[in-house]
Amino acid sequence: MTNVHKDALFVLVKSLSKSEKRQFKLYVGRLGVNTDAKFLALFNLLDKMKAYDEKIILGSGIVKKSQLSNLKAHLYKQILVSLRLNPVNQNIRVQIREQLDFATILYQKGLYKQSLKILDKVKTIAIENEEKNIAYEIVELEKVIETQYITRSIPDRADELATQAKMLSEQNVLTSKLSNLSLQLYGMMLKVGYVRNDEDYQMVRIYFDSHLPKFKMEDLGFREKLWLYKAHLWYSFLIQDFLSCYKYASKWVDLFYENKEMIYLHPVFFLKGNHYLLESLFFVKYSSQFENVLDKLENAVKDPNFPTNDNILSLNFLYINSNKLNLHFLKGTFEKGLYLVRIIEYGINKHRDRIDEHHIMIFYYKIACLYFGVGDNRNCIAYLKKIINNKNLKMREDLMCFARVLSLVAHYEAGMDYHLEVQLKSTYKFLLKMNDLHAVQKEMIKFLRSLGTIYPNELRAEFQKLYDRLKKYEDHPYEKRAFLYLDILSWLESHLENKPVAQVIREKALASIR
């Protein structure tokens, strides 16, 4: 049996909604083909299958093995054509492309005037909607037609088209440079992670400065500003300047609210911008502003005009619920956040095909932190095991690292001494292989390894020593990230002050409301 995710056609069929499947069958009917056509029979079979199995397809008698590849390719194409005709997928970019195709056909038939009329109209729409790559293509086609058909209605037509082409080309080149920089910084973030020392910082700073193109702010349109803010945001994340992250994520989101039509044209960028703004606010612990942004985002996606498709619904689930958890962490209201566990578990099962493994593991880590906050250490350990036992989580070793460290703390809190010893050895081996051991992690491991030799009456003094050693790293430029994943200081304070950890975090949140 082939893995579901390795067969593109099967994944496409399974991604279709009921209305899209119904439209596909109506589309096939309009083609006038026999309803028993092989590709329709294959579609119906794949629709019924729970997992892709070539043996079942061949055993059905629909197609011979030698013809299967061609039949699958034909079905794949017909589904895409049907989806393209679906009004849900008729966004402005598709509509502009369609008009460009019509103009090309008219040009090829020698109907130059009709072609130019369509091109002039659709070019205005493309520029208004920041579709400047397509606008450039339109101008280039206009230039080709004008060389064969001179309207004489505009004397300076050649100069006008040449100027437009030059302007659009320059804007497209600038956008390309900014988007390349943003993509490279994002790739750096995934591959290397946050800067760990001055050497890393200098490398990233020099890279950013040398690749940031020269521009005048007043010359930038929506598209250019969006990529500029993205590039600055990833640079700020890399160097762990979270106030700067907040600044550029705010600019990103404000850009959409200032150009509301772009929210509906680029809903994914709108959602991502809000998510990064919320993440930045979480990192700087700005709880009141966090709550306002989250409320505004929820209201925006509930708007009847806000686009809805499977991908957007999955992103809504991911970003809104992830940040709802973060809000409870900020305010220390862990108990109130427990209702989210069932919602998230249901959502993970519903959207699993569209959410990558990494984000699912982040959900599990946050749920574990939620249970840790209410003192339910066994449930905390159960969710952490889902991460620790995941052999495919290669992209974010830091998540695996903090999951293991929190697991150690939860085992200690649960009084599971035997398990703690086993966990210590396993975690220590893992961290030695990581090559990314931060001072905070080293101090935690050293402390937990020494627990067996500490007498009960000495425990409070040892907690105080560990607290004093860790406190100096709270604002360290390269060590502070550890406290974003795991609020070890609040845990230690809870032991020193003999209070639940949730109460400590709640008191801190109330004291720092801004």
Instruction: Give how far the C-alpha of residue 6 lies from the chain's centroid of Cα atoms, to the nearest Å.
Output: 22
Residue scoring higher pLDDT (440 or 428) = 440
Residue 32 predicted with pLDDT over 70: no
**pLDDT tier for residue 4 given thresholds of 50, 70 and 90:** very low
Q: In terms of pLDDT, which residue wins out, 336 or 490?
A: 336
Is pLDDT above 60 for 455?
Answer: yes
What does the pLDDT look like over 296-330, one tens digit per residue? 999 999 998 898 888 899 999 999 999 999 999 88
Predicted pLDDT of residue 452: 67
pLDDT, greater one: 275 or 311: 275
Token pair 């659009």 in the structure block, residue: 168
pLDDT over 80 (residue 424): no
For residues 29 and 35, the answer to whether their CB atoms sit within 8 Å is: yes
**Calpha distance 260→255 (Å, rounded):** 9
Q: Which helix (H) or strand (E) holds 489?
A: helix 488-497
Task: Decide which of 322 and 63 is more confident.
Answer: 322
Q: What pLDDT is stored for residue 1 in this prediction?
A: 34
Q: What local confidence, expressed as pLDDT, does residue 465 receive? A: 85
**Torsion on CA atoms 60, 61, 63, 64, rounded to nearest 10:** 110
**pLDDT value at position 344?**
96
Low-confidence winner among 229-233, 240-244, 436-440 (lowest mean pLDDT) = 436-440
User: How many CB atoms neighbour CB 216 within 10 A?
Assistant: 6
pLDDT value, residue 34? 55
**Structural domain boundaries in the chain:** 4-89, 92-174
Q: Is the pLDDT of residue 89 over 80?
A: no
C-alpha to C-alpha distance for 61 and 36, rounded to whole angstroms: 13
Share of the chain above pLDDT 70, in %: 90
What was the pLDDT predicted at 464? 87
Answer yes or no: are the C-beta atoms of 325 and 340 closer than 8 Å.
yes
On average, the pLDDT of the chain sits at 85
What is the rounded average pLDDT of the residues 66-80?
90
Which of residues 73 and 489 earns the better pLDDT score? Answer: 73
Q: What confidence tens digit (pLDDT) does each residue in 146-202 have?
A: 877 655 555 577 788 888 899 999 999 999 999 999 999 988 887 777 888 888 899
pLDDT at 150: 55
pLDDT (0 to 100) of residue 3: 42
Helix H segments across 332-452? 339-351, 357-373, 377-388, 397-413, 417-434, 439-450
pLDDT mean over 32-48: 78
Q: Say what the pLDDT of residue 151 is.
A: 55
Given a contact cutoff of 8 angstroms between Cβ atoms, the answer to whether 21 and 84 are in contact is no
Average pLDDT over residues 400-415: 82
Return the percentage of the chain with pLDDT > 90, whole number.
40
Tell me the average pLDDT across 104-118.
Answer: 91
The pLDDT value recorded for residue 144 is 87
Q: Using only C-alpha atoms, what is the Rg of the chain? A: 28
Q: Is pLDDT of 482 > 90?
A: no
